Amino acid sequence: MSNGAFDQTAWIFISTYLCSLILVGFIGYRARKENTLKDFYLAGNGFGLVVIFLTLYATQYSGNTLFGFSGKAYRIGFAWIMCIHFMTAIVACFLIYAPRLYAYAKKYDFITPTDYLQHRFNSNWINVIATLILVVVLSNYLLAQLMAMGRAMQGLSTVDPDTAYRQGVILLTLIMVVYGTLGGIRAVAWTDVIQGLVLMVGFSFLLYMLYKHFGPISLATNIIQQSPEVAKVNVPDANRLREWLSYIIIIGLGSTLYPQAIQRIYAARSEKVLRQGLALMAFAPLFTSLIAVITGIYAIAYVPGLLGTDTDRVLGIIMSMIQQNSVLGYWLVVILYAAILAAMMSTADSALLSISSMLSKDIYGRFVDSNASEARLTFMGKIFSWCLIIFLVWLAIYLSDKASLIKLLDRKFDILIQLVPAFMLSIHWRGMQALPTFIGIVFGVTLSLYLAFGGFDFVQNGKIYGFHPGLIGLLFNFAIAVLGSLWINKTSNKPLMV
């Protein structure tokens, strides 16, 4: 995409922006109050409203949102409007357990998500499997962000696409790890503030640019209606409608269990701040996901004929077209590219920080060196970050053209959602027992993966009649946890409290 490449001035702008992130990392390092896990991963007493909202926003809206959502809208048309529903569902699902989890976290000084499980069940088995699931899912998520960084660079550079991809992955990851290692959650959250603001401004510009360059969306809809892609305007078929419902449930529930999301609940300065931050987040899909869908719709009309993983590049292609139109369009695209980099890096840095906290505290601190000091655990967290990121950079380069971003998104939720009973049910039901909860998780994960990868005829595009296999696994998981707990409570003659 050499015709979309930036000139020297634009590169200076982008480079200055990226260097400012390292500077923020350094300021975060200077601002640390003590060398403890709580200070490094939760910023001591926590953040106020502006930081909490923008860090939640920048973390939730990622490379998947921008490239994956516009690409999916390009592939299936207006039906992908379902994404604003499931992104809103995430905030609604926080209501199920965030208020009580916040109260627990403040009372018992939780650092990682599994601190709650350890407190609630006191079971190493549940702790290990939950940590394993969260680390695997988050590594998958992180990998998707690294791949998106590479694709973003393909649209910027004049060198060949493969080289641009590799350079993008390595350079952006390096910047991210440096500021994350320096300043911990402070650096991550403060850079999220910059990144969140750039992202919001960039998205507003994108909407304006689409209108200015291509005309009203009615024009795009007319073009699609007169093309072979007319089905992308029609009401989705029954299978797609079931998929719509499935996405609302699986992403609504699953996304609230992302460790970085849970740690942001812990990091809110007060209940009021958390409430207000989440209330603002409830409207975020309308000015983010919706614009990604509109971009995909414009692309169906004006960039027809893309197939496979190329469809995830529609945003870059649309931006290249706008960029060539005028000086204003060119600079708006430069800002938008900064926003895209912001979206990917802010999500990736939060995921990496959460993984390092879990590997350090929940695995190393619990099973390898239980006498390790806080400073030692913080140091080990940084080491784990670097080791993991080196492996994932290699994987991102190896997998560069092998998987669509949305496929990666689909599978990880099938696994993540199996932790719903352990977190959301147990926080309200005191009768829930450790053993059936553990068996439920194992059975749910196994069944979900077996259904997804078992080669069954009734599984099409990774879904069963439109439903994610993870939801089938969750039904059995839920049943095992509830019935098993009821049975244990009954046979042990302990009072069952609900």
Partner 1 sequence: MKRPYWICTVYFVLVAIGIPWYWPAETSLFVLGLPLWVVIAIGVSICASTFTAFLLLRYPWNTEVNSDE
The site for partner 1 (CB under 8 A) is made up of: 78, 81-82, 84-85, 88-89, 91-92, 95, 99-100, 102-104, 107, 119-120, 216-222, 233-238, 241, 244-245, 248, 271, 275-276, 278-280, 282-283, 285-286, 290, 430
Residues 254 and 413 sit within 8 Å (Cβ to Cβ): yes
Q: How far apart are CA 261 and CA 267, in angstroms?
A: 10
Question: Which one, 236 or 484, has the nearer CB to partner 1?
Answer: 236
Chain-centroid distance of CA 185 in Å reads 16
Q: How far apart are CA 395 and CA 379, in angstroms?
A: 25
CA torsion through residues 288, 294, 295, 300, sign: positive
Q: How far is the CB of 187 from partner 1 (least distance, A)?
A: 28
- Provide the 8-state DSSP code for 309: G
Q: Is 192 exposed, middle or buried (0-12, 13-18, 19+ CB in 10 A)?
A: buried
Q: How far apart are CA 90 and CA 123, in angstroms?
A: 28
Q: How far apart are CA 465 and CA 240, in angstroms?
A: 9
Return the closest-CA partner of residue 416 out of 139, 121, 68. Answer: 139
Question: Which one, 119 or 490, has the nearer CB to partner 1?
Answer: 119
Here the tokens at position 234 are 């029609």
Residues 320 and 3 sit within 8 Å (Cβ to Cβ): yes
Helix%, strand%, coil% for the chain, nearest 5? 80, 0, 20
Here the tokens at position 230 are 């007319």
The total number of residues written for the chain in this structure: 498
